[in-house]
Amino acid sequence: MRILGIDPGYGIIGFGLIELVGVEWEMVDFGSITTESDQTMPERLLQIYEDIVTLIEELKPDLFAIEELFFVQNITTGLQVSEARGVMLLAAAQYDLPIYAYAPNEIKMSITGYGQADKSQVQKMVQSLLNLKTKPKPDDAADALAIALTCAFDRVSL
């Protein structure tokens, strides 16, 4: 079982793939997709779509997990992230991947046991749960691994 976690954005998109090996989850790959600020929004959306498709084709996940959007103070930014998230969902749907979405506090609760945990607490627990030597960087990739783990804990029976 392989789960691709996605931390949505439009400038930086975090991704993390975990795999069930025996009775433990192991990190397979993580990183980020970036778009340039001088690109138009349609150019960014196309690049994000193509990069997510490439990840799906190369990493071959069984499940697709993504963070739900939460209220942001800057409505323009929120709309742009929504547009980017939409093309990510489209890519997953085109590959018939089951899609699961989790709210930020749900992810924090799943990973740390505390729904108001800060980023460093989440990163430290992701590092521990996946037996990593160092905290995953960038933060967006660590968040994506946390999203994948949340899906694993929520959807996969060991």
- Residues with a catalytic annotation lie at 7, 67, 140
Listed in sequence order, the residues at least 6 apart from 52 whose beta carbon sits closer than 8 Å to its beta carbon are 6, 13, 33, 87, 88, 91, 92
Residue 40 has phi, psi (to 5 degrees) of -70, 165
The structure tokens listed for 154 are 């929520």
CB 31 within 8 Å of CB 156? no
**What CA–CA distance (Å, rounded) separates 158 from 25?**
10
3-state SS, residue 89: helix
**What CA–CA distance (Å, rounded) separates 100 from 154?**
10
Query: Rounded to whole angstroms, what are the CA distances from 95 to 31, 74, 92, 152?
Result: 21, 32, 5, 20
